[in-house]
């Protein structure tokens, strides 16, 4: 690889900035491309949501060292948030990501307003090299095309880390993984909302007094439903429908309540159950959406012939990776969850929660395209079991490999918090926001023994619900 060219990191979220910090620490040239106008732009869209994980587990080690180190024009006097506090998404940005992005070592290498549209390869002399060409491929460079306010721009890199996340690619509300007929038009008209709206804050007037269908059975759906339930207590003419793709199962929907071994999950389920039993939320089973038709209201047609008239649909149906910009690269993806092939079986939500995902690094994440990696939330494809701490370990290992330190890249250093392990109950998201009613360490998951499988053996201990997926 040509050391005269940088490693390009796509995305200035927690994992992308962590990747840059680790690479800089190893003396590597780096450039970060962010589609938004500031660091953590996607997180700002769900800034009103509080995380399950305390601050201690939300800060990457290399990023912390960078923030605490003096630099020219920078005293290194960043004050770390109190470790036991649970941050809101907005606080994660304001108290961590923005100070990190503003550090003199990082600020000059981050380009905002650069949305990556294509990644491909080129010969060292600039000649073309599409997906079908093999000769000399390993020694070629990467061409990264971005869309900017001034038009397209082509950048050259020796390696690429795609940490762009999945926020911009929500799963459709239609059945069988495809959009319902008329869904695109309904989204464009604002009748299908963002996955995590703010009914009690900025979106209150948009939701108050409306008939709302919330689709999904995960923690995002639960938090939205609880917020809407509180809105209905203040605005009784608000009507809330909870659409489930299957038959309601109390354990799956609500967890174990006060008997739940994970207190935060139990509290979330208890609050949700109370709204349902009080009649504030009506459950609809076997909801399989075939079409959305705009009229005076939004008509939702279901596969069994039922038709619903609502004002808004909230799609709390999860996310999937947008791989379109990588179409000219040779990727080796698991056909089920669309993660790197070696990672797929380790994270398949049919068999794993985040507490049973093996620690993994560069070797697991590698593709046939030497020097290209998908890291962070996007690396998990459609699986909702991503942990932020796992993403930090991913990029630490990748940075070590790109710096030529094979031993460090293979020596997995994942240290999961000792305060509990997530479960696939209540929708299976490992990165779910905490119930709004709780705050501080008492809202964290209670201790749960788990076994984490490492390449060098098995560690028996505890893990914690950490993250930022399902947002």
**Domains of the chain: which residue ranges?**
7-167+319-462, 175-315
Same CATH topology for 7-167+319-462 and 175-315: the answer is yes
**How far is it between the farthest Cα atoms of the chain?**
69
pLDDT at position 428: 36
By the 8 A CB rule, do 446 and 241 touch? no
In the CATH scheme, what is the code of domain 175-315? 3.50.50.60
pLDDT at position 349: 72
Which pLDDT tens digits describe the chain residue by residue (471 residues)? 467 899 999 999 999 999 999 999 999 999 999 999 999 999 999 999 888 777 888 999 999 999 998 887 777 789 999 988 889 999 999 999 999 999 999 999 999 999 999 999 999 888 888 899 988 898 899 999 999 999 999 999 999 999 999 999 999 999 999 999 999 999 999 999 999 999 999 999 999 999 999 999 877 888 899 999 999 999 999 999 999 998 877 666 776 555 544 445 557 778 898 999 999 999 999 999 999 999 889 999 999 999 999 999 999 998 999 999 999 999 999 999 999 999 998 887 766 555 556 778 999 999 999 999 999 999 999 988 788 888 999 999 999 999 999 999 999 877 654 433 343 333 333 433 443 433 333 333 333 333 333 333 333 332 333 333 333
Residues 234-262 as b/e (b if ≥16 CB within 10 A, e otherwise) read eeeebbbbbbbeeeeeeebbbbbbeebeb
pLDDT at position 255: 63
Indicate the burial class of 66 (C-beta count within 10 angstroms; 0-12, 13-18, 19 or more): buried
Other residues' Cβ atoms within 10 Å of the Cβ of residue 175 = 15
By the 8 A CB rule, do 12 and 148 touch? no
Distance CA 369, CA 144 (A): 14
pLDDT at position 426: 34
pLDDT at position 161: 98
pLDDT at position 415: 62
In CATH, the architecture of 7-167+319-462 is 3-Layer(bba) Sandwich (3.50)
115-122 and 128-129 as β-strands: parallel, antiparallel, unpaired? Answer: antiparallel
pLDDT at position 449: 34
Nearest to 42 by CA among 191, 155, 168: 168
pLDDT at position 176: 92
Sign of the CA dihedral running 293, 297, 298, 299: negative
Radius of gyration of the chain (CA): 22
pLDDT at position 226: 93
pLDDT at position 316: 92
């Amino acid at each position: 690889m040509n050391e005269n060219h940088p490693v390009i990191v796509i995305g200035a979220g927690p994992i992308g900035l962590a990747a840059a910090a680790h690479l800089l620490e190893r003396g590597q040239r780096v450039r970060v491309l962010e589609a938004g106008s500031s660091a953590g732009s996607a997180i700002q869209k769900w800034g009103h949501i509080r995380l399950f994980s305390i601050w201690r587990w939300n800060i990457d080690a290399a990023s912390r060292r960078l923030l605490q180190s003096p630099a020219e024009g920078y005293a290194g006097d960043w004050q770390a948030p109190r470790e036991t506090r649970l941050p809101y998404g907005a606080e994660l940005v304001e108290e961590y990501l923005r100070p990190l992005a503003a550090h003199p070592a990082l600020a000059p290498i981050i380009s905002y307003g650069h949305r990556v549209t294509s990644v491909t390869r080129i010969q060292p002399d600039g000649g073309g090299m599409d997906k079908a060409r093999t000769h000399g491929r390993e020694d070629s460079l990467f061409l990264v095309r971005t869309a900017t306010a001034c038009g397209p721009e082509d950048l050259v890199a020796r390696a690429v880390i795609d940490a762009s996340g999945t926020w911009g690619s929500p799963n459709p509300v239609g059945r069988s993984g495809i959009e319902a007929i008329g869904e695109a038009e309904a989204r464009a008209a604002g009748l299908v909302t963002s996955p995590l709206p703010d009914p009690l804050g900025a979106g209150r007037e948009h939701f108050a007094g409306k008939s709302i269908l919330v689709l999904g059975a995960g923690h995002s759906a639960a938090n939205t439903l609880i917020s809407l339930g509180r809105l209905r207590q203040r605005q009784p003419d608000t009507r809330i429908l909870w659409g489930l793709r299957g038959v309601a199962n109390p354990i799956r929907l609500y967890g174990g309540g006060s008997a739940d071994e994970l207190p935060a999950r139990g509290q979330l389920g208890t609050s949700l159950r109370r709204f349902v039993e009080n009649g504030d939320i009506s459950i609809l089973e076997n909801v399989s959406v075939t079409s959305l038709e705009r009229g005076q209201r939004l008509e939702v047609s279901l596969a069994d012939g039922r038709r619903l008239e609502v004002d808004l649909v909230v799609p709390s149906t999860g996310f999937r990776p947008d791989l379109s910009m990588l179409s000219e690269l040779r990727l080796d993806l698991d056909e089920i969850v669309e993660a790197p092939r070696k990672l797929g079986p380790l994270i398949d939500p049919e068999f794993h929660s985040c507490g049973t995902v093996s620690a993994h690094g560069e070797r697991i994440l590698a593709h046939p395209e030497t020097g290209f990696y998908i890291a962070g939330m996007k690396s998990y494809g459609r699986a909702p079991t991503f942990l932020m701490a796992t993403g930090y370990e991913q990029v630490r290992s990748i940075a070590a490999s790109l710096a030529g330190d094979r031993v460090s890249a293979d020596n997995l250093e994942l240290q999961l918090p000792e305060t509990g392990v997530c479960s696939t109950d209540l929708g299976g998201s490992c990165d779910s926001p905490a119930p709004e009613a709780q705050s501080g360490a008492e809202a964290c998951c209670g201790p749960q023994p788990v076994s984490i499988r490492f390449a060098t053996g098995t560690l028996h201990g505890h893990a914690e619900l950490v993250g930022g997926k399902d947002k």
